[in-house]
Amino acid sequence: MSKVQSKQRIRIQVNGEWRSTEVEGDETLLDLLRNKLNLKGPKEGCGTGDCGACTIILDGKIVPSCLVYAATTDGSRITTIEGIGSAEKLHPLQQAFIQAGAVQCGFCIPGIIIAAKNLLDSNPSPTRTEVREALVGNICRCTGYVRIIEAVMMAAETMRSGRSGA
């Protein structure tokens, strides 16, 4: 029988790498990622699932990591912004966000890129409306979303044409 414990050990795959880590009781996935696994990309903007800054991909779906208990993620696959692209080879979304002027303060960006990537993974030709709907859970207070939607559309086109983005 699974134990009720203050501490539990879980195994999770984070950005492609399996890791074993201890979690405490009601520790959220966000706190686990930031504080124990040192992944600072997902942010705490509200802690109540209202802002989207903590959005990550859990077993193929975007979730607010501040509302997921880490203890429930044993065996799961997680992707954070750190698992998307690199300075040497940016993901087309990252390239598009830079070029389209979609980045201002940057605090919402990890969550938004995650949500956008998740959209494009299942819907490579979204309409503008579909992009808006996909990003409804990600608040941006700086940009007004216009350039962000533009960037996602640009990235979708780049990905469809097979270019990796310069």
- The yes or no reply on residue 80 touching another protein (CB under 8 A) is yes
Q: How far is CA 7 from CA 10, 22, 24, 67, 110, in A?
A: 10, 6, 4, 19, 29
User: Taking a C-beta distance cutoff of 8 angstroms, is the pair 50, 139 a contact?
Assistant: yes
- The yes or no reply on residue 159 touching another protein (CB under 8 A) is no
User: Taking a C-beta distance cutoff of 8 angstroms, is the pair 23, 12 a contact?
Assistant: no
Among 32, 37, 53, 159, binds another protein (CB under 8 A): 53
Where are the alpha helices (H) located in 72-127, listed in sequence order? 92-99, 109-122
- The yes or no reply on residue 47 touching another protein (CB under 8 A) is yes
Of residues 10-29, those binding another protein (CB under 8 A): 24-26, 28
Among 9, 69, 125, 127, binds another protein (CB under 8 A): 69
| Contact map string, positions 93 to 122, toward another protein, x by CB under 8 A | xx--xxx-x-xxxxxxxx--x-x-------
